[in-house]
Amino acid sequence: MATTDIIGRNSVDWTAISDALDAEGWAVLPRLLDPSQCRELAGLYDAEDRFRSHIVMARHGFGRGEYKYFSYPLPGVVADLRSSLYPHLAPIANRWNKTMGIDVRFPDQHAEFLRRCHQAGQTRPTPLLLKYGPGDYNCLHQDLYGDHVFPLQVAVLLSEPSEDFTGGEFVMTEQRPRMQTRPMVVPLRRGDAVVFAVLNRPVMGTRGSYRVNLRHGVSKLLTGRRYTAGVIFHDAT
């Protein structure tokens, strides 16, 4: 996989991303969006007509803070990210599934994968905007919305750490069979995206590969406001 442009501006070294995903279960795509794109996307949060639902996390025991799922049609930048990132991630997803002995394979293009989701009744869009204020956090979780799961997802940080907010780090845990859980903190700046495993990934051991279970979340925000855009490739029931 060569270096390519995503949404026409940023070069991504997909070989390095693929290697990092294999090693850690996550990788940073630096400066995927520029500051004005970040501002514009975060600015949509109050545009009620762009969203299909609004979740107040404390009401569900998900943490503290809130998020909204976009409705179709998605904002242009979100739709572009979804369709332009997917073809680079599908080969990694297919390789992981093969290694883990999972029979499911993913098509080359996102539109084709969405057809599979929609035919199975997973028709509702999953891309979302999240908003956190002081004291807010997002409990460790996995974004599963039905039987069809694309095993990688992306989150773009839309606010600038230290300037717009403090605390509020993107964290992941990796639960390994018969071993203690590994914590990870993903360093992000505004406009950076993290691509990460939704549920499982293969890890190479001395006697072949084994499967680990991953979760992601956000540590408590201390000050300010933090916005994120989540890009999930499967749709929801």
Ligand X SMILES: O=C(O)CCC(=O)C(=O)O
Residue 1 tokens, joined: 């996989």
Cβ neighbours for 133, distance < 8 A, ≥ 6 positions apart: 65, 221, 224, 225
Residues 79-138 contacting ligand X, CB under 6 A: 130, 138
CB contact at 8 A, 199 and 144? yes
Cβ nearer to ligand X, comparing 12 with 172 = 172
Please report whether residue 230 would count as binding ligand X according to CB under 6 A. Answer: yes
Contact range with Fe ion by CB under 5 A, out of 20-28, 32-40, 127-135, 140-148: 140-148
Answer for which of 22, 24, 80, 143 binds Fe ion (CB under 5 A) is 143
Mask for 159-188, x = binds ligand X (CB under 6 A):
-----------x------------------
Residue 186 tokens, joined: 């993903």
Please report whether residue 51 would count as binding ligand X according to CB under 6 A. Answer: no
Q: Is the dihedral of CA 98, 100, 105, 110 positive or negative?
A: negative
Please report whether residue 149 would count as binding ligand X according to CB under 6 A. Answer: no
Answer for which of 155, 172, 193, 221 binds ligand X (CB under 6 A) is 155
Query: Cα–Cα distance between 173 and 185 in angstroms, integer?
Result: 9
Mask for 98-137, x = binds Fe ion (CB under 5 A):
----------------------------------------
Whole-Å CA distances, 128 to 55, 87, 155: 10, 20, 9
